[in-house]
Each structure stands twice: as C-alpha cells, then as structure tokens.
Chains A and B, each alone.
Chain A
Amino acid sequence: MNDKRPPMSDRLAGGDRRASVRTVALAAVLAATIVAALAGTAAAHSGALRGTTRESLAIPTWLFLLTGGGAVGASFLLASFVTDRTLIAAIHEWGASVDAATVLRAGRHLARITGLLGLAAVLGVGLFGPGTGARNLAILLVWVAWWGGLVASTYLVGNVWPAVDPFRTVAGALPTFDYRYPERLGAWPAVAGLLALVWVEVVSPLADDPRLLAGTVAGYGLLTVAGAVVFGPGPWFARADPVARTLALYGAVAPVGRSQRGDADGSIRVRLPGTALRDLDLGAEPGSVAFVVGVLFVTTYDGFVATDLWAGVARTLVAAGLPPTAVYAAAYLVGFGLSYGAFRLAARSARRTADTYLTGRALARRFAPPLLAIAAGYHLAHNLGTVLTLAPALLSVLGSPLSPPLNPPTLAALPGWIGAAEIALVLLGHLLAVWVAHATAYDLFPDRVQAVRSQYGVTLAMVLFTMTSLWIVTQPYAEPPFL
C-alpha cells in the first residue's frame, strides 16, 4: 500500500467535502443563472454593488450576474485540475514566521519612504504648485498631516518620527565628521531652534504662503542635515534638533513606547498614557528643563497673540513708536523667560516646602516632564478643529497636487461640542500633569507628607498655566496685528 496516502478516514472526509463543495458551487452557479434570468434587464444601474460604483451597466443585468457566477464556477473547474496532493499541501504550508523585529524593520522602511515622499511633495509642490495656501499640498501636508496629525499621534499613540523624519534618513545616508557635541551647550541649541521655528511660524504667513513654507523647510533641512553630518546623527537628533527633541518628549506621554530597560533595541512597551513621564530622565544636560518649558510655552504663544488683549497691547506699543517685530519678539522672549523662571522658582520652592536637600535643578528636572502632558492637551485642543476642518481638503488635494480643485472641500461647520472638547482636553492635560507630578513626588521623597508638600509650588504654577490656557482657548480669534 502507498505510504503517502492519507488514512482512510481522511480520504473519506476529503472526498465527502469535495463532493459537497462541488454541489454547492454548482448550485450557486445555477441559482445565479436563474436569478439573473428572472431579474432580466429591469434594474439598469444594479452595478451599484455596496453602493460604491454608481455607473450604469452597458450590459443587461442578467448577463452581468451570469458573468460573475460564471467566473466563480470556472475557478472551481480550474482548481479541480490541481489534483496533486503534495502541491495543494505545499501551497497551504507556504509562508515564513516573521518575528516582530522584522515587521518593525519593514515598518521603518515604509515610514522612511513616506517621510521622503512627504518632504519631496512639500518642497516640489510648495515651490511649483498653486500659490494659494488652501489649495497647496505643501501647506496641507505640513500643517494638517504633520503638525496636526503626526504630532498629535506622537502623544496619543507613540512617537514614530525618528523613523519618518526625512532629514534623519538623508543624514543617515551621508558620511559624518563625528565631531564631539559640545557638552556645555546641552539642550540650549534645541531651545533656540524651537523658539526660532515657532517665531517664524507666528510672525510670517508660513501657514498661507507655500513658497515661504517650502523655503523654510529647505532651510531647516539644510541646517539639520549639516548638523547631523558634523556631529553625527545620533547626538544631533537626540540633543540639538528641536523637532526631534519635541516629538521625543511628546512620545513619553504616549501609551506606546520603546521599553527603557537595558538594551537599546528594546521591545515595545504599552503603558497608561502619561505614566512614562514619571520615569522620563531629562539627564544632567544643561537646558533640558528650559526645553520642556519651551515646548509648553510655544503652544500658548501663538494662541496668545491671536487674542484681543494682545492686539490691544501691541497696537498701543506700536503707536508709541516701537517697531512691531520688536514688540512681538520682546513679548515672545520675555514670555519664555518668565515661564522658565517661574517654573524654576516653583520647583525650587519644594526645597523649603518639603524640607529636602535635593537641589533646585534636580527638582526642576523631575517636575518638568509633567508639563508635557499639559503641552499635549493644549496642542490637541489647538489643532483638533483645524485638522477636522481641513482634512477633506488634504484628501482632495492629495489626489491631484499640481492641479487641485479651485475650492478644495472643507468641513463647513464643526459640531458645537468641539469647543467643549477643546476645553476638556486642556483640563485633561492638566489633570494628567498633576497626577504625574504626584507620582514623581512619591518617587522622590520617602515621606509621603513631604511628597505632598513638595508639589505646592509646581501645583501653583500649573494652576496659573491652566487658567491662562483656558482663557486663551475661550478667547475669540483676533487677527494678530501688524503681521
């Protein structure tokens, strides 16, 4: 007897199954034919299967249905020619088990390609596409897809920017001089870069002028790639690049992140949103706290200059003879300085309230990460409406970037609850921040009463931030004057 033949029971079962499959298929073909014949040509546009294609058919309906049924029947007949048991088995056993690392690597390649294509689109369409902002893919890609979408995803889901970042991809392909990154600069170049980028965004029509946007992206890109070539991509993107640094910090708010334990290529870790902020180590690097405060500050500044209060102040100062740019710059730098000073003071006050010997710097480094939850809440509140309104425009312009529709569709009116949701998001960010500060204090101090007392200053700072942010969110948009 042939050993390769399966046991009798299997053969019987297989035979039975085959017979029943054949019967079913024949019945289906017959039924389709009958239905088709009965239906006739009555429904002229029955091509609307699932309602997706609404085109009328050029052939009678019964013929259309018959063809479909016939194709299935023919497939069955063709399949029945394959009688080699080992071939059938081989087809079903084909495949490879892929470990998660391979999937991640493939995902990284995909992300890199997406990033490069996105950059090419921003530069190409920005420079040579239509001149109106709302019709230009570059504007929509940068402000809706990237700033509104991808940045929001870094704190809502997890930070994929290191993989997407086209400048990192480009820099990775270039040789590097590997000069030592000057330690004493620490995070200050990133602070300056962050303030500069947001400054350009606020005072120039970066959200309306595609040429300017493409130019700015190119300038930032050149600087970034040059920095990465000089100091090596690793130190540059971890320390000096403001964008990578901001998104890395936002990533610590997210529920998905790289495991921090031990090995560098660690596994993916799922956690409660914001909880990783307690363990975020800002390190002894100078300026790292200033950068966190800066991330929070810049989210409020462009909201602040769009309020009536600012418009009034700016008009008064300009009427008194000051140049508008200086007024904006002064408000910007003074605002940042005040926020940073207030935070350092608040953190340092724990030395007194909690009677601890930890330095003010150490306290600031541990109490700064909670601010990122506030920044994330504010970023989402600030951009949710824009993204929802302009998402249809992005999709429609994406279809034909070089000849977009004259008036790309936008969401005509946002539902009324969006305003309430924005306020809820700002509050949610603050609640999360208060909680993270609480957990951090418990991590820092052995005495629980001491831990509570250590939070007085930081809590006061957060209460003031909350009230400022809520005030800005509830203010009607006022066109910033003189810009």
Chain B
Amino acid sequence: MTDSTAPTAPDSTAPDSTARPPRTALETEVPPDREAHRCERCGRPFAAAPALALHRGLAHGDDLDPAEREAYAAALDDERADLQRFRIVALGALALLYFGLLFAYAVFA
C-alpha cells in the first residue's frame, strides 16, 4: 500500500518552517502487516508512537492539546536517554577505530 501524504511540513524545523521552500510531498508506504501511527494533522504514518509524539511537537508544535504536549515531553525524555546510550556506543566505536588504526600503523607502517 503506497500513499503520498498530503504536503508535509518538514519535521524538525517547526520554528522556521515558513522560511523553507515548499518540498515535494514525502512518499510513505506502510507494509500491510504493520500498524501505522498516523499524524492527525498531516497524515504522515509512523512506525512507533513516540516518533509520532515527537513529530507532533516538532512539526505542529504551536497547536498541541495538553495530552499531546505531555506525550511530546515524555517522548523527548526517552529520546534523550536513547541518545545518551547511543553516544556511549559511538564513543566506544570511535575509541576502537582510533586504537585499531594506531595499532595498525604501529605494526604495518
């Protein structure tokens, strides 16, 4: 099932979304065996509820009802925690890359 959502505002740019050029509508496709969390305002489907909550806050931040606002805040908290975890992993990968290259240079160069 393929559907082009109605002209979607770019997500993470709520404050200056008016300053951005209009863009070709984002094309989305929900696999038949998956459920979609659809944005009530622009119709864009998301695979997870937190992503929709974040999308609401970022793209339609100026007209949220209190429940949506709360969901946005909660999703932001979770996102921050996830991001923190990712940063630790990324730092580990960087260290691995750095020392790996260092050893490689020590041995082969």
List residues of A whose CB falls within 8 A of some B CB: 260-261, 279, 281-284, 355-359, 361-362, 365, 442-450, 452
> Taking the nearest CB of chain B, how far is it from the CB of A261, in angstroms?
6
Assembled-state Cα–Cα distance A47/B7 (Å):
72
Query: Is B36 an interface residue, CB under 8 A from the partner?
Result: yes
Assembled-state Cα–Cα distance A284/B55 (Å):
23
Q: A446-B12, A448-B83, A452-B86 are in contact. Are A283 and B24 (CB under 8 A)?
A: yes
List residues of B whose CB falls within 8 A of some A CB: 2, 10-13, 19-21, 23-24, 26-30, 34, 36, 44-48, 50-52, 54-55, 57-59, 75, 79, 82-83, 86
Tell whether, in the assembled complex, residue A443 and residue B13 are in contact, meaning their CB atoms are under 8 Å apart: yes
Q: A279-B21, A357-B45 are in contact. Are A443 and B29 (CB under 8 A)?
A: no
Tell whether, in the assembled complex, residue B13 and residue A446 are in contact, meaning their CB atoms are under 8 Å apart: no
Tell whether, in the assembled complex, residue B51 and residue A447 are in contact, meaning their CB atoms are under 8 Å apart: yes
Q: Of B10, B20, B21, B58, which is in contact with the most chain A CB atoms at under 10 Å from its CB?
A: B21
Tell whether, in the assembled complex, residue A284 and residue B86 are in contact, meaning their CB atoms are under 8 Å apart: no
Q: B81 — nearest CB in chain A belongs to which residue?
A: A449
Q: A357-B45, A357-B47, A359-B2 are in contact. Are A446 and B24 (CB under 8 A)?
A: no
Tell whether, in the assembled complex, residue B36 and residue A357 are in contact, meaning their CB atoms are under 8 Å apart: yes
Assembled-state Cα–Cα distance A282/B55 (Å):
23
Assembled-state Cα–Cα distance A139/B11 (Å):
49
Q: Of B47, B51, B82, which is in contact with the most chain A CB atoms at under 10 Å from its CB?
A: B51
Q: Which of B20, B30, B86 contacts A449 (CB 8 A)?
A: B86
Assembled-state Cα–Cα distance A394/B46 (Å):
58
Tell whether, in the assembled complex, residue A443 and residue B12 are in contact, meaning their CB atoms are under 8 Å apart: yes
Residues of B within 8 Å of A260, CB to CB, are 21
Assembled-state Cα–Cα distance A361/B26 (Å):
10
Assembled-state Cα–Cα distance A114/B51 (Å):
53
Q: A260-B21, A446-B58 are in contact. Are A357 and B28 (CB under 8 A)?
A: yes
Q: Which of A281, A365, A445, A449 contacts B83 (CB 8 A)?
A: A449
Q: Which 8 A-B pairs have the closest CB atoms?
A: A446-B54, A446-B55, A362-B27, A260-B21, A449-B82, A355-B47, A359-B27, A359-B29
Assembled-state Cα–Cα distance A448/B28 (Å):
19
